[in-house]
Amino acid sequence: MSCPKLGLATTLDQSGVRVSQDVVEAVLKRFENAGMLAYQFFDWAGKQRNYEHSIRAYHTMIGSLAKIRQYEIVWDLVNSMKSKGLLNIETFCIIMRKYARAKKVEEAVYTFNVMEKHDVPPNLAAFNGLLSALCKSKNVRKAQEIFDNMKDRFVPDSKTYSILLEGWGRDPNLPKARRIFKEMVEVGCNPDIVTYGIMVDILCKAGRADEAVEIVKSMDSSGCRPTSFIYSVLVHTYGIESRIEDAVDTFLDMERNGITADVAIYNALISAFCKVNKFRNVYRVITEMKSKGVTPNARTCNIILNSLIACGETDEAYKVFHRMITICEPDTDTYTMMIKMFCERGELKMALKVWKYMKRKQFVPSMHTMSVLVNGLCHKADVSKACEIMEEMIEKGIRPPRETFGKLRQLLIKEGRKDVLEFLQEKMNLLVKEPLCD
C-alpha cells in the first residue's frame, strides 16, 4: 500500500519473496477493496517462475475488479482461465452477481448465455446462480420471467424455489411469495429448512410474526426442526416491533428446545434491547456471550454503535468502539460509522485518528468510508487532507462518487487551486474507462 504505483513490481522483485498459491490467495483476499493495486500484484505473481494462479485466485481477482467495474479486464481473465482449462460454473456465477449488483441486468443474462461459447454448458446450478443474482439485486420480476421461460429446460429444485421465494420477500410481495410456495408443494418439491426459514422471514417482515410462529410450530410434523436462524428472525422481528418480552421469551424457548445460541441470535437479542434503549441489558448479553464461549463479531459492535449514535450517545459509542476492537475485528461499516460520527461532530482529529488506526491495522477502506472522510474534510475546508485522501482513493483504482468529487472540486476552485484540481482530474482520467461487456 505504501509503495509508489509504478514501482510495485520492482519492489516485489527486490523483496526476494517466493510466492505460493496460498500466499497469493491471502493477499488478494486482504486487498479485495483495492482492485487495481491487487491486480498489479496478481499480474506480477502470475509471471513468477514455477507458479500458476489457482481458480480461487482468479475468482477473487474477478470479484475485486468487477466491484470497480473493470469489466474488460474481467473478461480477459475469463479468457485466460479458458486457455488453462480452469473455467467452471462458479466463475460465471460470480460475474453474474457482480453485474446484477451494478444494476446491469442484461449483462448478467448475457453472461449466462455465453457460457456455452466458453465450453461451460449451463446447468441447474448456473440457472439458480442467475436467478439468485437477479433476486438479490431486486430484479425478481426479471428472475420470474426467466424462470417461467426456462423451467422446462432446467428442472427446478428446492433451492430454485427458495431463491424466488426470497426474491418476492425482498420485493416485498407476500401474495407472489405465497404463490411460489404453493407451486413448490404442488410440483412435489418439499420445502426444506432453508425454505421454511425464508417463509418465516417474509412473514415477519410483513408484520405477521404470530403467523410465522405458527409455521415454526408446524415444522416438526414435516420433519424439519427449527434452527437458531429461524429463532433469530423471530427475536429480531419482535425487537423491531418493540415487543421485548416476546423477544426474550422466544430466545428462552429456543434454549428450552435444546438449540445452542449462536452469535446471530445474540445479535438479534442485542438489537431488540437497543430498540428500547435498554443498554444495561445489552452489556449483560455481551457478558453472557463471553461466559458461553460465543465471540461477538463486527455485526454485534455495529448494532450497538448505531443505536448509541442514533440516541446522541456519541461519547459512549466511542467507549464501546474502544472496548470492542479488543474483542472482535471491525469491518467497513464499523470504521465508516465512527468516522462519520466524528465528522458530523466536527471532530476531524478524532475522525483522522480512527482512519489512522484502520490503516495501521492494514484494513483496506471501501469507497464509502473514503467518501465519508473526504466529505467531512471538505465541510471543514481542510482541502489539503481531503486531496490527500482523494488521491489515495484514485490510486487504489476506486472511483470517487460524483457528489464527493464535486464538493472537493468546488472547494479547490474557491481557493484558487486549479492546478491541484487538474492534477486530480488527470489521475481520474487515467483510471481505465468502463468498457462494453463484449
Asked whether residue 178 is domain-assigned, the answer is: no
Q: How many CB atoms lie within 10 A of CB 390?
A: 25
Q: How far apart (Å, rounded) are the C-alpha atoms in residues 268 and 385?
A: 39
Residue 433's pLDDT band, with cuts at 50, 70 and 90, is: low
Q: How far apart (Å, rounded) are the C-alpha atoms in residues 63 and 355?
A: 25
C-alpha cell at 293: 464461549
Displacement of CA 397 from its chain's centroid (Å): 19
Asked whether residue 430 is domain-assigned, the answer is: yes
> What per-residue confidence (pLDDT) applies to 431?
67
Dihedral, CA of residue 206, residue 210, residue 216 and residue 220, to nearest 10:
-140
Q: If you count them, how many residues does the chain have? A: 438
Range(s) of the domain holding residue 398: 366-438
Q: How far apart (Å, rounded) are the C-alpha atoms in residues 245 and 361?
A: 40
C-alpha cell at 43: 499480474
pLDDT tens per residue across span 97-152: 999 999 999 999 999 999 999 999 999 999 999 999 999 999 999 999 999 999 99
Asked whether residue 130 is domain-assigned, the answer is: no
* More reliable by pLDDT, 177 or 429: 177
Q: How far apart (Å, rounded) are the C-alpha atoms in residues 109 and 128?
A: 12
Asked whether residue 337 is domain-assigned, the answer is: no
pLDDT tens per residue across span 400-421: 888 999 999 999 999 999 999 9
Asked whether residue 206 is domain-assigned, the answer is: no
Cβ atoms of residues 320 and 305 within 8 Å: yes
Asked whether residue 144 is domain-assigned, the answer is: no
pLDDT tens per residue across span 57-106: 999 999 999 998 999 999 999 999 999 999 999 999 999 999 999 999 99
Asked whether residue 69 is domain-assigned, the answer is: no
Asked whether residue 388 is domain-assigned, the answer is: yes
Bin 401: left if φ > 0, else alpha if -120 < ψ < 50, else beta.
beta
C-alpha cell at 321: 468502539
Dihedral, CA of residue 358, residue 359, residue 363 and residue 364, to nearest 10:
120
Q: Which amino acid is at 31?
A: F
50-74: buried (b, 16+ CB within 10 Å) or exposed (e) per residue? eeebebebbbbbbbbbbbbbbbebb
Residue 397's pLDDT band, with cuts at 50, 70 and 90, is: confident
pLDDT tens per residue across span 217-235: 888 777 788 889 999 999 9
Number of domains making up the chain: 1
